Structure 1
């Protein structure tokens, strides 16, 4: 039996950029630096597309649907990969979960 964390990212979870981050394009690569932890990541092509989509709050399912339209792949694999990627970004405070009732 799998036990999920109470704050685990689910397909219905709405996420967006963390307000305390800086994004820059350098030599064709998107670099994101979190101001809270001072950590940064460089994003590849697909990561950069996903990052741009995160500018507006969206559910993980919406993000996966959009990536599925752009790239060929199994929807379960896309969901697993996107969720893992977002968990990594959240762990260093580059994205945040948005309350469904929030206007942000």
Structure 2
């Protein structure tokens, strides 16, 4: 059973307002002000992070990445959902209303 606050492809997500983003030596670093933790994002993570500046559904994010990287849509969806759940657990992103 899916937890009630779990992300789905139809969840609209965006940056959490209490985070700071910086580009250092070509790498995107995101620090959450709530937990004081930070993450460094690789190339694909950085692309995804930039897309999250404008809230959108996870399905839209996956579609964009599928077109850009020509990956298998099902595999991209699994990877993106897992990645976004990690960011959500660190309070770096949040579900937003449409």
TM-score (ref. length: structure 2):
0.98
TM-score (ref. length: structure 1):
0.93
Cα distance per residue 1:59-90 (max 9 Å; x no partner):
00000000011002110100000000000000
Specify every segment of 5 or more residues in structure 2 that has no aligned partner in the other structure, as ranges. Answer: none
Match of 1:41 in 2: 39
Give the match's secondary structure for 1:83.
helix
Match of 1:63 in 2: 61
Partner Cα separation in structure 2 for residue 38 and residue 7 of structure 1: 22
Q: Which has the larger radius of gyration?
A: 1
Runs of 4+ in 1 over 2 A off after TM superposition: none
Give the match's secondary structure for 1:52.
helix
- Equivalenced residue count is 98
2:81 is the counterpart of 1:83: yes
Match of 1:20 in 2: 18
Partner Cα separation in structure 2 for residue 8 and residue 77 of structure 1: 18
Partner Cα separation in structure 2 for residue 21 and residue 39 of structure 1: 10
Specify every segment of 5 or more residues in structure 1 that has no aligned partner in the other structure, as ranges. Answer: none
